[in-house]
């Protein structure tokens, strides 16, 4: 069952504790929605909870093999998190959640004929999409290998510890797993400490040469991901993909000088229907579209998740920030409506 905004009501099949502050939530997908909720490794789901009339949406990565796993997401409780705290502490099997179909382009394009080596770097809950990427790649591509460098405080904080151990047992020669623990001493000094720029550089030099990896995927806190991308780029890596779960809001955009703002006519194509509206050039495209189309997709509204992406068909926009789009998407005219302002007097876009 779905509503005009595209959400479907799915029954929770299981809530599995992973650590003291995280769980895995498995959904029961009815046969008639199997195609709608077919996912690719690295994609995420948007969950909705309405609290005192406020529509709260959060994205969580799918954490299961796209070949053999159920539809499952990992959730870690955030300090003060209204949605994450409720999901971790109160949600039970049998309850119903409102869920958008899988979205996102973070994962690799996999094929049984591929012979590649994938490098995954994650910290904390950033491991969630890596579980899906690693499991699917190892199962679908018998000639490929996966290396996962995973940072946490202690072994008790490692989400999906058993899942990763199972993958290591099943694919001993093709899956290299390196746990880096900042508050728990290990046998190797190299793996004991914070996964920062210096430690990552040493790991790459001694255990995972950058030139041995075809594609890199990074997920975790903003600082770790930024440092890891810089280290990889400096070492010569060219195929690096990034996903963030959270980033601090950018500083407010200064208003345009008087006389330069004006109005723009926006035509939005969404779910096969076209809507035309007028908005201030100082406003954000998503906000204006939502005023006339409740089915416009969004989640974080911070330029992180990419749920609200659209393509420019006519006109020009400018974005305040972008943490979700790849260079090829930007080159193709794809933008984040939650971060975009019209530049031209008319703008035509299509939601993806």
- Name the phi and psi angles at 341, rounded to 5: -120, 140
The radius of gyration computed from the CA coordinates of the chain, to the nearest angstrom, equals 21
Q: What is the location of CATH 2.40.30.10 in the chain? A: 8-99
pLDDT for residue 250? 56
- Whether residue 182 has pLDDT greater than 90: yes
pLDDT for res 6: 84
Q: Does pLDDT of 329 surpass 60?
A: yes
Contacts of 331 (CB under 8 A, 6+ apart): none
- Per-residue pLDDT tens digits for 210-237: 999 999 999 999 899 999 999 999 999 9
Q: What is the mean pLDDT of the chain?
A: 93
Least confident span in 7-11, 124-128, 189-193, 242-246: 242-246
| pLDDT at site 259 | 55
- Does the domain spanning 263-351 belong to CATH 3.40.50.2000? no
Neighbouring-strand partners of residue 42: none
- Per-residue pLDDT for 103 more than 60? yes
pTM equals 0.89
The mean pLDDT of 89-105, rounded to a whole number, is 96
For domain 8-99, give the CATH number: 2.40.30.10
| Domain 117-244 CATH assignment equals 3.60.20.30 | no
pLDDT tens for 232-280 read 999 999 999 999 876 555 556 666 555 566 899 999 999 899 999 999 9
Distance CA 13, CA 322 (A): 35
pLDDT of residue 29: 98
For residue 304, count other CB atoms closer than 10 A to its CB. 22
Q: For residues 48 and 38, is the Cβ–Cβ distance under 8 A?
A: no
- CATH 3.40.50.80 occupies which residues in the chain? 117-244
- Please tell me the distance from the alpha carbon of residue 170 to that of residue 278, in angstroms, as a whole number: 57
Per DSSP, helices labelled H in 171-211 are 197-206
What average pLDDT does range 121-139 have in this prediction? 97
Instruction: Single out the residue of 5, 28, 18 nearest to residue 95, CA to CA.
Output: 28
Q: What is the percentage of the chain residues whose pLDDT exceeds 70?
A: 94
Work out the pLDDT band at 326, boundaries 50, 70, 90: confident
Q: What is the mean pLDDT of residues 71-82?
A: 95
What residues does CATH 3.10.20.30 cover in the chain? 263-351
Tell me the per-residue pLDDT of 53-74, one tens digit each, with 9 for 90 and over: 899 999 999 999 999 999 999 9
Alpha helix (H) ranges present in 36-81? none
What is the mean pLDDT of the segment spanning 20-41? 97
Q: 29: which 2 tokens?
A: 């997908």
**Backbone torsions φ then ψ of 308, nearest 5 degrees:** -95, 20
């Amino acid at each position: 069952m779905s509503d005009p905004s595209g959400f479907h009501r799915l029954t929770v099949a299981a809530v599995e504790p992973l650590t003291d502050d995280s769980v895995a939530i498995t959904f029961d997908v009815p046969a008639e929605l199997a195609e709608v909720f077919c996912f690719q490794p690295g994609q995420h789901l948007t969950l909705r909870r309405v609290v005192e009339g406020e529509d709260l949406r959060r994205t969580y990565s799918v954490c299961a093999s796209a070949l053999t796993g159920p539809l499952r997401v990992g959730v870690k409780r955030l300090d003060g998190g209204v949605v994450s705290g409720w999901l971790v502490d109160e949600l039970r099997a049998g309850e119903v959640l409102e869920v958008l179909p899988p979205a996102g382009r973070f994962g690799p394009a996999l094929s049984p004929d591929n012979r590649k080596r994938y490098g995954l770097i994650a910290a904390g809950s950033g491991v969630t999409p890596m579980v899906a990427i690693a499991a699917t790649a190892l199962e679908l591509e018998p000639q490929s290998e996966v290396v996962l460098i995973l940072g946490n405080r202690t072994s008790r904080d490692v989400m999906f510890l058993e899942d990763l151990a199972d993958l290591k047992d099943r694919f001993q020669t093709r899956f290299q797993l390196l746990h880096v623990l900042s508050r728990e001493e290990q046998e190797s000094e190299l793996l004991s400490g914070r996964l920062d720029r210096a430690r990552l550089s040493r790991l790459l030099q001694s255990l995972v040469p950058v030139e041995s990896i075809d594609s890199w995927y990074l997920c975790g806190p903003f600082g770790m991901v930024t440092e890891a991308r810089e280290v990889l780029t400096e070492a010569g890596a060219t195929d690096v993909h990034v996903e963030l779960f959270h980033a601090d809001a950018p500083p407010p955009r200064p208003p345009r000088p008087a006389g330069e703002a004006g109005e723009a006519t926006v035509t939005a194509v969404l779910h096969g229907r076209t809507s035309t509206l007028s908005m201030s050039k100082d406003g954000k495209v998503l906000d204006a579209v939502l005023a006339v189309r409740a089915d416009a997709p969004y989640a974080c509204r911070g330029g992180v998740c990419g749920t609200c992406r659209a393509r420019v068909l006519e006109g020009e926009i400018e974005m305040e920030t972008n943490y979700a789009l790849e260079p090829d998407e930007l080159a193709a005219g794809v933008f984040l409506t939650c971060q975009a302002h019209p530049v031209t007097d008319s703008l035509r876009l299509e939601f993806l």
